[in-house]
A and B are shown apart, each in its own frame.
Chain A
Amino acid sequence: MSTLPVISAKNLDLVFQTGDGSVHALSDITLDIEKGEFVSLIGPSGCGKTTLLRVIADLEKPTSGEISVNGTTPEKARLDGAYGYVFQQAALFPWRTIAKNVALPLEIMGLPAEERTSRIKRNLDLVNLTGFEKKFPWQLSGGMQQRASIARALAVEPDMLLMDEPFGALDEIVRDHLNAELLKLWATTQKTIVFVTHSIPEAVYLSTKIVVMSPRPGRIHEIIDCDLGADRPLDIRETPEFLKIAHQVRDGLREGHSYDE
């Protein structure tokens, strides 16, 4: 592992000015993420986990504090195509076929046609969507749409994936399946992944590091290492090691007043 973290935030603060006063979305966030890590941000709604991800992606600007991505500013990293972003919804363009949707970022990057075709094929294959190239999004199930959006993010070939509750809207059976696929993908591609979730089992199953956040103001309560090893079959979730970490995360959330009304 390199000594320089891929993402480094120091004393990050973000205050939203809204019609009825200000909202303290992020407070004093200090966090380092190393290359190749799988980091989950977990916490109840309003804890700033999505906001933090959006700051990393340069979709929001922090009010104060420092943040570097790939050793530079988030804006420069975004312009360099440092990351692929997967949203809560698939956000496919309804007028484009699945292949054309994956092609979208490649067209914007100005890649030549042959390169686009080979990347589309490779990445749709990676998420098991070969054969669906010519389908329109509405002809696919929610899980397949989300897989297409992951293929779209991967096609950019970024070193980093930023995922904002990508499986939050899917049922548990599909979610389990996609979690396993995502782990496999992470193991083969060695990408750095920052993953927002509000599911404890999902966070523990996927991550090497779990960042427990708490609300009002949004802050980091605790960072838990999750050393279950690289090989994680789905039934690892019944092992004592797994349950121990899950328990730790739940305790962290409770201490952070996540369960208060």
Chain B
Amino acid sequence: MTTPLPKGRSRWLTNPSSVAVPLGALLGVFYVARVVTLPEGTRGWFAGLVILLVGGFNLAADAYEQGRLRTIRGLGDGTISSRPDTLERAAREASQAGMTTFLLAFACLGGGSLILAGLWYLIASPPLAVAVRVGLVGLLLGPLTAVMANLLVLPRARQVIEELMAAGLSREALATALPGREGLRRRLVIYAGVGAATPMLLVADANLHRWFALFERLAQQPDDAAARLVLAAEQSAGTSDLILLGVLLIGTVVLCGWLAGNALGQPLKRLGGETERLAQGRYERGRVVIAEFEPWAAANALSAMEAHLLDALVGAQDASKGIRTAAEELVENGAQREQGAAEQSAALMATTATTEELARSARQISANAQRVSEIARTTLLAAQAGKDSAEAFTSAMGQVRQGNQAIADSVVKLNKRVQQVGRIIEFIDGIADKSDLLALNAELEGHKAGSVGQGFGLVAAEMRRLAENVMTSTREISRLIEDIRDATNAAVMATEAGVKATDTGAGLATTVRDGLGDIVEFANLSADAMQSISLATAQQQAGSDQLVSAMEDINRSTRKNLESAGEMARTQGELVGVSRELEQAITTFGGTRS
């Protein structure tokens, strides 16, 4: 929010010079009127010239000053827009206004008095010494008037610069427009010198003039009595004029001193106020105390310091907010971490229990593996014994097969013999049958022969009975041979079946032997594998025990972590409180982002 520069600020700024110059001229006229005795007939010209020159110089000086302040005038009239460059130029004009006024006042008084003396001498022809004294009075009063005008203009110039800042002039542009110069000591020396020298010189001039006038009158007296009368008259004439002049000069000097003190002290006072404000922490961006010379450097540095402090405070506030936000996040994260640590602790507890269970299982597995390994070795031994038995059984089966084969061969031979016997029996039976038939025919023939053949018939009958007995025996033998043949056939078949069974048994025994061999091999491998498994399970058991120990360590660490998380959460909560207090403190010190 900017405020335009008020109208007429250039005129208001130069008004003190318009007052100071006539005032100085009036003081000079008063001094000349009281101290310098103007010749008769020249006083009118003197007064006219004074008025003319004072007015003319005042108008010329005012015109010059207005020309020097044209940017300020344009900003006030609105003919010049408020831009950074115009504001900076206006600030530069305002800052130079004091020196301009000083020089113009000095020029008006000093130069004006010399011009007055010269014109007055040329026009009214006063004594040259009087004209010179008039000119010297102006030269003596010129610095005092210039100082007074300068001291009157300085506060107004500061106010105009503050108004320019309100109109948008930046502090940086103001620092550029008002370069810091170390001239305060010189300026004080000038003020002191002018303030002390001007009254002294004027009083000395007045006294010297009076003394010279007295000496001249005394020298013109004819005797001592007349001289005493002159001295008495001089004494009776009093010193009222001199006292009045002195008072006036002292008043002028005091006024100058007051103005100087005010002009120099006001910035210092404001600086003190600003410093106190800063000490109270009430920072405001863009505030600067307008001053000159070293106070300006101090004010500028103070403003820069305030700006830097504000930046730092804003940064600190941002940092504080960031810290608070981070702390709050830390609190939240801490709570989550605490919760996570608790969950982790619970999970680790469960994991520890599981690990212990795993370790127990590993120990049980190790013991089982050991037992299985022993069983595997026992199985290996049993398989080896079985293999040996199978081999012995196979050998025995081979012997049985050979025996069966021998039996079969014997039975076959027996069968052949029986068949031979059968054939013999059949032959005998045939013979018996034929014998029977022969005996029957013989008996028949015997009966045919009658009584002669009766005995023959009896013999034939007996032979027939023998033949029939033989045939009966051969039939019985044939049946026996048939039974023997059936038995031998059955024996042969049984023997062949036995041989086949023996072969099958031998094959099975071989298969069993091979299988047992494989079993032995596999049992051996199993025993080795179980040995390896037993070793592995033993190592696993050791690893499980170590894992249990490690899990217990982790569990302890997790519990400590949980405790630390809780402690950290409390610390973070305290950190949040501290960050809020810090943020509140920074806000209190004015650290708000503008």
Partners in one complex: no
Binding site for A on B (CB under 8 A): none
